[in-house]
């Protein structure tokens, strides 16, 4: 049973890789966004607290996030875990360490997906999806085979995230660096950090991550 953290800037493909590793290696994927939505849907005590905060338009506190993580860890048995994009701040990292210590566990490795930010901005700002089946496309790298028609379902309605534009992506990257640079150092100083080239093909990134994870499992 091993515990991993997957780090990387917005749009680098963390979620996709975490899901793939979860499916192929039997790891439990822990994404704060996913468990927050599930807790709210299930109306758990912490989920109701989070819903109340969000209804006020406030950010969910680190304390609530930590409680959600604790609830999730209570129900995973002896399986390994991959944390997807969490922790994001030093206080979150310290809270996670304390939480795992109580369970007799610890982070084995933090995996950072490194990127070329100029290319990443281009990748993100050209993304769009089919409004019917959610198949993903890109203006440059993956256009539809027939202009204006989804390759999978033949739908003709498409959508783009409002923040998938160059300026918004630059701002998200700036915020990521301001909050997460310290996290990289936190795990590097403890000799837990390993890096993979996040600009390689999706299959190659997966293979590199899998190779590292197998050394701990």
- Residue 163 forms part of a structural domain: no
Residue-level pLDDT at 104: 86
Within a domain: residue 95? yes
How many CB atoms within 10 Å of residue 125? Answer: 21
Q: In what order do the strands lie in the sheet with 136-138?
A: 136-138, 127-130, 158-159
- Is residue 210 one of the residues assigned to a domain? yes
Indicate if 20 belongs to the active site: no
pTM here is: 0.81
Mean pLDDT of 89-107: 91
Q: Which of 20, 72, 88, 123 is catalytic?
A: 88
Q: What is the mean pLDDT of residues 121-146?
A: 91
Considering the candidates 105, 160, 172, 179, report the single residue annotated as catalytic.
Answer: 172
Q: Which domain holds residue 98?
A: 3-115+174-214
pLDDT tens sequence across 166-200:
888 898 899 888 888 899 999 999 999 999 999 99
Task: Answer whether residue 63 is part of any domain.
Answer: yes
Q: Is 37 one of the annotated active-site residues of the chain?
A: no
Question: In this structure, what CATH number is given to the domain that contains residue 19?
Answer: 3.40.50.300
User: Which of the following is catalytic: 45, 102, 159, 161?
Assistant: 161
Task: Catalytic residue, from 127, 142, 179, 195: name it.
Answer: 127
Number of domains composing the chain = 1
Q: Which pLDDT score, from 0 to 100, does residue 164 have?
A: 85
| Cα separation, 209 vs 67, whole angstroms | 28
Confirm whether 14 is a catalytic residue: yes
Tell me if 131 is assigned to some domain: no
Q: Does residue 66 belong to any structural domain of this protein?
A: yes
| 146 assigned to some structural domain | no
Residue 145 belongs to a domain: no
Alpha-carbon distance of 64 to 46, in angstroms, equals: 7
């Amino acid at each position: 049973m091993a515990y991993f953290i997957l780090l990387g800037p917005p749009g680098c493909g963390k979620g996709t890789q975490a899901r793939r590793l979860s499916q192929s290696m039997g790891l439990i994927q822990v994404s704060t966004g996913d468990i927050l939505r599930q807790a709210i849907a299930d109306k758990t005590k912490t989920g109701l607290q989070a819903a109340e905060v969000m209804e006020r338009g406030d950010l969910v506190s680190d304390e609530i996030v930590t409680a959600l993580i604790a609830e999730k860890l209570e129900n995973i048995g002896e399986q390994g875990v991959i944390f997807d994009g969490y922790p994001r701040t030093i206080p979150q990292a310290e809270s996670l360490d304390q939480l795992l210590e109580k369970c007799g566990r610890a982070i084995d490795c933090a995996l950072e997906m490194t990127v070329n930010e100029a290319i990443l901005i281009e990748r993100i700002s050209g993304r769009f999806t089919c409004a019917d089946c959610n198949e993903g496309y890109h203006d440059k790298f993956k256009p539809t085979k027939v202009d204006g028609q989804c390759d999978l379902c033949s739908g003709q309605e498409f959508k783009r995230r409002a923040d998938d534009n160059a300026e918004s992506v630059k701002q998200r990257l700036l915020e990521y660096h301001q909050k997460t640079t310290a996290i990289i150092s936190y795990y590097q100083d403890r000799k837990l950090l390993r890096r993979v080239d996040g600009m390689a093909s999706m299959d190659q990134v997966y293979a590199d991550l899998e190779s590292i994870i197998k050394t701990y499992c």
